[in-house]
Amino acid sequence: MKSKKLLIISFLVLFVSLVSCSDSPSDVGSDLLGIDLINVKKLDSNLDSIKQSSNSVKKIIPLGASPRLLLGKKDDYTAYTLISFTFTLPDSIKRAIKNDSLEVLEAKGEMNIDYFFGDKNAPFDFSIFEIESFWNSASFTADSFAALSYSQTDLSLNKTETDSVFYFTISNNIVKNWLKNEVDTSLARNRGVLLSPKPLSNKIIGFIAFDPDESKDTRINVVVRKPGAYIDTLLAYVLSDVSVVIGNNQIDSNYITIQSSLTYNGFLSFDLSSLSKGTIVNYAQLTLTLDTLKSKLGDNYFNQLNAYIITSTDSLKINESNVYPLKRVGDKFIGDISGMVRYWISNNPNYGILIKAGKEIIGLEKFMIKGSSYPVYSDRPKLEIIYTKRN
Amino acid sequence: MIKKILVLLIASISFINAQSSSAYTRYGIGDLKYSFSTRYQGLGQLGVSLQDKYHISSINPAAWSNFDRTKIEFAMSYNGVIINSSNDKFFSAETEVEGINFGFPISTDLGIGFAAGLVPFSRVSYQSKQNFSSPDSLIYNYDLIFEGKGGLSKIFVGSSVKIPFDWSLGATFDYYFGNFKYLSAISFNNQTNFSSEYNLIYKPTGFGATLGILSPDLTTTFGFDNISNLFFGASVNYFSKLKTDSVVTSISSVLLDTIAFYSDYMTIPTKYNFGLSFILSQRYLFTFDYSLQNFSEFKVFSKSSDNLQNSYKISTGFELQALNELSSKFWERVLWRIGLSFEKTPYKFSGIGINQYSFFGGVSLPINPDNLIDISFQYSKRGTTEKSLLKEDFIRLNLSLVFNELWFLRFDK
């Protein structure tokens, strides 16, 4: 009986194991399967006469989250910085301030430089004005600047610029008011100061902005004295800071102007109605050509643009979490936007592409991209789509 | 333990990725399965007129009229194929479960036998992979892959009965269901491009019927001396229009999209089978069979195919009957058989019909007087390498376990 069962199992094992001898699939028989043929095709916007359009859109945004403060003046751009300071005070100092027995002997600030826009050696100077109106770094924008109220008295003294640090001295009186405000808000006001470039300035400097993890943000060393008692040094930390950049670009319709901080975004649209439902997009690549002569870039910047799907024509709304990076290769910005094209051919409306600077709240880089009406056809924005279609 | 091993082996079959035929099976309903039973495979696959003590004929239900035991038959097959084109060849193999049948007699006097089963009716199985290279750096190299899987299966229940003049009549009620999956895919050799797949899936379901008739032993009618068990049989296999859902989907690595969904009918032409068999000198069984099906009438969604033609099959078989004596040794109780067939398959390409020539052999090994292990071997050749067509060499091994038991039987007191 056992031998019969063994016989049956042996046959079954033989049947199953024989299959493992199969060759890997080859092209034998492919010619008979034209009925199911699918083809890899390429759509090239520059070769296939795909209708495209582009322009530039100024979109004012708050720069409060930027790790860099901009200050200075270059061409048509003026960068202002608003900063408010705070202190951590021991009780003895607080008592002295309350008793009005503390004198401010000196207030010397230092700002660490991490960026230049324009010639590094160009002249630069600025004034410090006391801000009188309320402002909030999270929402303060270039549009808010016109309504900002500040005194016209320049509080700055003794400014010195080195390669990496800018030193300045600020009026003792305003610092004393900040100390009073720190102890009791009813004693004095502290709405911070406006750093405003003087007309002779011909560059914009970037300073390290407030960062709880960064020790190189702006500080003011305040020397105080309680007469007959002690002399001490207090440190004023940044409580809040923000930059605004005021200015405009002359828009050339042959170009897409993309600029950080100011802020200009590019709009680009391709008519992809020739791609029907059922098309599978294997890869889509967007190539933008930079005019290196017309572009204006700082000494230290993020060499990338980001593309976004426009989800609504209302204020060119985008989904910020879906970023399609366009990396710099020579004078091109190239990126994979396959997901974007798939989105459009999956019955979603094609409102176009919004292109931003890679870090749009840092620096003042102006990328001049050759647009959809640029005279040299091959330099226009190029969308190449590799797709598969069933016959 | 043995049961566990069997279950494991059978389960493992479905995970094997292989193929058992060529791109020809893309057309119609694929390769036709003529017979379930391994014995009938060994006799040229038909055996329309065979009355069989041990096996369940799935081609002619009238043959069930002489059931005297409860029968269970389980079959599986190994299919190896060498596919030749004009400049290349390719080997592949696949193991398939062929199905399970069972039957039992209700009345031996009235010839009422009952049988039911699940058997494959057709099989689609092909794979192909072409390499392409493009000078375009965004495309680079890619593979174009075609794959076909599936087929049509049949669940049947039926019965036989003796009618006047000792003729037998049998009929089955058939339920057909299937899943034909035709894949076309592109796979790129670079890391950036997503692959793409298109799947066309047909899911036909519907009913049919098989009606069969079997003559009594005609030996006395014709008065042959040395001939016995002369039977004539015929059956007709009718298909209603099979309601068929068709889905076309596109799949990239990130998206599944249904491009189209249709629901219509698949029309499968009626199949006719005829057979004659007799035993010479009490030991030598001869069978002669003919089957035809007008596949030019096959339609899916009202569309016929230029690549289908009317098909027929002619087969003959010879079986050395066992010595049914109590003193017989094991090898004297073994049944040996061979068969030959010619088949004009349903496939036609560029005006060339695909013909198939087959040789069959087989044995029935008795486990005990009522139970058998059947093994059959088939070597077939079909097609041509002319006009970019394919020539195929098939090797098929069939194995079935046949159990005849005294279950469900009533005995007179």
pLDDT in tens, A302-325: 999 999 999 998 888 898 889 999
Structure-token match 């098929």, residue found: B396
- For residue B5, is pLDDT > 50? no
pLDDT of residue B9: 45
Closest C-alpha to A281, from B188, B146, B133: B188
Exposed (0-12), middle (13-18) or buried (19+): which is B242, by Cβ within 10 Å? buried
- Cβ pair A28:B142 closer than 8 A: no
Would you say the ipTM is above 0.85? no
pTM, whole model, 2 decimals?
Answer: 0.82
Cα separation, B40 vs B273, in Å, equals 14
The pair phi, psi for residue A373, each rounded to 5°, is -115, 15
- Residue to mutate among B13, B257, B396, with most A CBs inside 10 A, is B257
- For residue A179, is pLDDT > 80? yes
pLDDT of residue B407: 67
Residue A255: pLDDT band with limits 50, 70, 90: very high
pLDDT of residue B410: 60
- For residue B327, is pLDDT > 80? no
- For residue B411, is pLDDT > 80? no
Q: Are B70 and B84 in contact (CB under 8 A)?
A: no
- Please state, rounded to an integer, the average pLDDT across all residues of chain B: 88
Residues 6+ away with beta carbon under 8 Å from A330: none
Specify the length of chain B in residues.
413
pLDDT of residue A27: 82
- Residues A243-253, mean pLDDT to the nearest whole number: 93
pLDDT of residue A20: 55
- Cβ pair A29:B78 closer than 8 A: no
Question: What are B376-397's pLDDT values in tens digits?
Answer: 999 999 999 998 899 999 999 9
Residue B16: pLDDT band with limits 50, 70, 90: very low
Closest C-alpha to B357, from B385, B389, B383, B336: B383
Residue B93: pLDDT band with limits 50, 70, 90: confident
- For residue A338, is pLDDT > 60? yes
- For residue B10, is pLDDT > 70? no
- Cβ pair A16:B16 closer than 8 A: yes
Give the containing element (helix H, strand E) for A366.
Answer: strand A366-370
**Residues from chain B contacting residue A286 (CB–CB below 8 Å):** none
Q: Are B146 and A30 in contact (CB under 8 A)?
A: yes
Residue B1: pLDDT band with limits 50, 70, 90: very low
Residue A235: pLDDT band with limits 50, 70, 90: very high
pLDDT of residue B8: 46
**Residues from chain A contacting residue B145 (CB–CB below 8 Å):** 25
pLDDT of residue A234: 93
Cross-chain CB nearest to B198 (options A342, A346, A390): A390
- For residue B146, is pLDDT > 50? yes
- For residue A356, is pLDDT > 50? yes
- For residue A165, is pLDDT > 80? yes
Q: Are B54 and B71 in contact (CB under 8 A)?
A: yes
A153-156 contact pairs (CB < 8 A, 24+): A153/A129, A154/A127, A154/A128, A154/A129, A155/A127, A155/A128, A155/A129, A155/A130, A155/A193, A156/A126, A156/A127, A156/A128
Question: What are A191-210's pLDDT values in tens digits?
Answer: 999 999 999 999 999 999 98
Residue A84: pLDDT band with limits 50, 70, 90: very high
Specify the length of chain A in residues.
391
- For residue A4, is pLDDT > 70? no
Structure-token match 């060339």, residue found: B352
- Residues A198-226, mean pLDDT to the nearest whole number: 90
Give the containing element (helix H, strand E) for B238.
Answer: strand B227-239
**Residues from chain B contacting residue A7 (CB–CB below 8 Å):** 373
Q: Are B5 and B14 in contact (CB under 8 A)?
A: no
Residue B6: pLDDT band with limits 50, 70, 90: very low
Residue B408: pLDDT band with limits 50, 70, 90: low
- Please state, rounded to an integer, the average pLDDT across all residues of chain A: 91
Chain B CA closest to residue A12: B9
Alpha-carbon gap: B364 to the closest alpha carbon of chain A (Å): 13
Give the containing element (helix H, strand E) for B4.
Answer: helix B2-13
Which pair of tokens denotes residue B354?
A: 């695909």
Residues 6+ away with beta carbon under 8 Å from A366: A249, A257, A258, A259, A262, A264, A295, A296, A297
Cross-chain CB nearest to B90 (options A5, A23, A285): A23
Q: End-to-end alpha-carbon separation of chain A, Å?
A: 59
Closest C-alpha to A148, from A109, A219, A196: A196
Of A23-32, A70-79, B116-125, B348-357, the poorest mean pLDDT is in: A23-32
- Residue to mutate among A14, A18, A23, A36, with most B CBs inside 10 A, is A36
**Residues from chain B contacting residue A4 (CB–CB below 8 Å):** 367
pLDDT of residue B334: 87
User: What Rg, from alpha-carbon coordinates, does chain B have?
Assistant: 23
Closest C-alpha to A91, from A103, A76, A102: A102
Q: Are A235 and A220 in contact (CB under 8 A)?
A: yes
- For residue B401, is pLDDT > 90? no
- Residues B360-378, mean pLDDT to the nearest whole number: 88
